[in-house]
Amino acid sequence: MPSKLSIHEKTRRSYLVILAVLSVGLYMNTCLNGFVLDDNAAIVGNKIVTRGVTAIPEIFSTPYHQGFNSYSHGLYRPLASSLFAIEYQIGGGNAFPLHLINVLLFAADVLLLFFLLQALFGPSKMTQSFVAALLFALLPIHTEVVANIKSQDELLCFFFSFLSLLVLMKYAASGKITMLVAGLVFLSLALLSKETAVVFLGINAVLFFGFFPHKRNRSVAILIGTMLMISFFIFLRFHVLNAYGAGEIGNVSIGQNSLAGIPSFWSREATAIFMAGKYLWLMLFPVGLVCDYSFNSIPPTSFSDLSVLLSLLVYLIILGIGIYRLFHFRKDWLAFAALFFLISFALFANVFFLVGATMAERFMFFPSVGWCMAAALLVCRVPSIRQSEGAVFKNATFLAIFFPLTIIYGSLTILRNTDWKDANTLFAHDVQLQPNNYRLHQYLGFSLISSSFTEDDSITRTQTYKEAIQQFKISIAIFPETDATPYRAIGVSYINLRQFDSAGKYLEQSLARESKDTLVRNNLAGVFFARGDYQKSIEMCRINIDSFPDYQQGYVNMGASYLKLGKYDSAKMVLSKAVSLAPDDKKAQYFLSVAREYSGK
């Protein structure tokens, strides 16, 4: 007859197998998807990352996305970028291995969560640990994190953060310094993956002072170590970013976060609280998930809105439960679940300060752990489930709750994964759900332009450009205060349609918003050339050359205009410069030969 211990271990192993199979199975269809959204800036369009393993030293000394058009936006995630570089070198630019690693990392996160909860709850509450991990694996709101390759930073941060927590708990129990050092090293790796790990300063304080009060000295050591690791990360981050002019904390723009455009403080807070309630709703009822919530997906509201008051009430109840039960019950994990949720969500709530996005489903990846913990603890208080430890799959109540939930949430997750197939599929789908989102229309416009590059049929290509132009115009109508981006895109699209008057109009509006845009000036020079206004084309090229003396394309276009005006000596002079800057430029060589021929040499 098997011993109680062997039954316990057998159940534990069966739980681990179920969690692993479910986690992988739900997201395996993402491996058929390509690169989309921020994958371009983080991976395939990043000149540093695509150099592979040799670029890792540079990655650690440059801002996140620095290799994407030298774009520095105040983020520092070198561990995630290093993993991208390794994967890109191994996969040769193929998206499949990167998606597969995302799936495996997610499965590892789910299993690690199970191990951590077992350590927290104790061996007698294995069912609670399993149910919480099961819910975490099932939540469709996590599709953005797993389906978007770029979110490996989130998956890595989660893994190392919870591994740190697990190891630090071992230190609190044993007092072994090696455990303390290892736990803090894992926390450092989490911080280098994504800044989200800073919330563990608050989480560690609550856990080790609230739930390990008899280990006061060890709790103090953990908190001091946590503060030192976070302080060192902030120092390192500032040092790297400051070298690229990205270290200063600037104002958040409306384009980044629509709340920045709400002048009334109370209206801004009410809208943020409304969004906080929307997060809870999407965790429970994950219908209508979208990849972006920019202006004007969620219009401003006020405290007269009942949904705002309801959201505020729910969060106050969660806070009240957390604080009350923390101080009135010994090791009450429901209190920890509530406080974990609030602490990890506070970083993204937009209530205390504005972050660089209005709202994002990936922001729920960490906080949802608290929700799953609370749900598992409450569900497992049902007497029939509580008494079925080790045999929940034979329990009618458990099956009545989780079988339909698994089918519904699993189906929604798998279907949502297909939306992430490619840029056109994702944006065309999501813009139908968020027709007032200015950025989704821009995203769709750019994806249409990209798809036109591989289109052989001229009629289809023309129609695609027209559809892209329409998307950009809708974006401008929604958000007239937008930057130069949609105007520039419309202008370039009209050039491809050979509608030069319209192209000139939008390129000039783009230049009015971004006066130092070299490419726009170059395109305008081309438009003037096509319209026969060669003198204006020369003037535009000269501005570019004055600003950037080695701008080779400016010399080529200026030389072409001089040829049209019959000024062959001038053409010869600027085209000689163009050839000296780019000896292999066939176009410049041809124009120079024409200039020499007509100048008598």
**pLDDT tens sequence across 64-112:** 888 887 666 678 999 999 999 999 998 888 999 999 999 999 999 999 9
Phi and psi at 262, nearest 5°, equal: -95, 110
**Peptide bond before 557: cis, by omega within 30 degrees of 0?**
no
What whole-number distance in Å separates Cα of residue 295 and Cα of residue 475? 10
**C-alpha–C-alpha distance, residues 574 and 553, integer Å:** 11
3-state secondary structure of 302: coil
DSSP, collapsed to helix, strand or coil, labels residue 305 as coil
pLDDT at 226 over 90: yes
Band the pLDDT of 398: cuts 50, 70, 90.
Answer: confident
For residue 584, with 0-12 CB atoms within 10 Å meaning exposed, 13-18 middle and 19 or more buried, which class applies? exposed
Amino acid, single-letter form, for residue 63: P
Burial class (CB in 10 A: 0-12, 13-18, 19+), 542: middle
Q: What is the mean pLDDT of residues 513-533?
A: 90
pLDDT, residue 1, reads 42
CA angle 343, 344, 349 (to 5 degrees): 90
DSSP alpha helix (H) spans, 285-365: 306-328, 333-346
- Residue 328, judged by CB atoms within 10 A of its CB (0-12, 13-18, 19+), counts as exposed
Quote the pLDDT of residue 74: 77
Query: What is the average per-residue pLDDT within 153-163?
Result: 97
What proportion of the chain, given as a percentage, has pLDDT over 90?
70
Q: Are 256 and 350 in contact (CB under 8 A)?
A: no
Burial of 123 (0-12, 13-18, 19+ CB in 10 A): exposed
For the cut 50, the answer to whether the pLDDT of residue 296 exceeds it is yes
Query: Among residues 455, 494, 448, which one has the least CA distance to residue 471?
Result: 448
Q: Is the pLDDT of residue 497 over 50?
A: yes
- CA 117 remoteness from chain centre: 27
The answer to whether residue 161 scores a pLDDT higher than 60 is: yes
Please write the tens of the pLDDT for every residue from 244-276: 876 555 678 888 899 999 999 999 999 999 999
pLDDT value, residue 125: 82
Mean pLDDT of the chain, nearest integer? 90
Gap between the Cα atoms of 137 and 110, Å rounded: 6
pLDDT score, position 598: 83
- Tell me: pLDDT of 529 over 70: yes
Q: Which of the two residues, 317 and 67, has the higher pLDDT score?
A: 317
- Residues across the chain: 601
Cα–Cα distance, 77 to 95 (Å, whole number): 21
Distance CA 189, CA 187 (A): 5
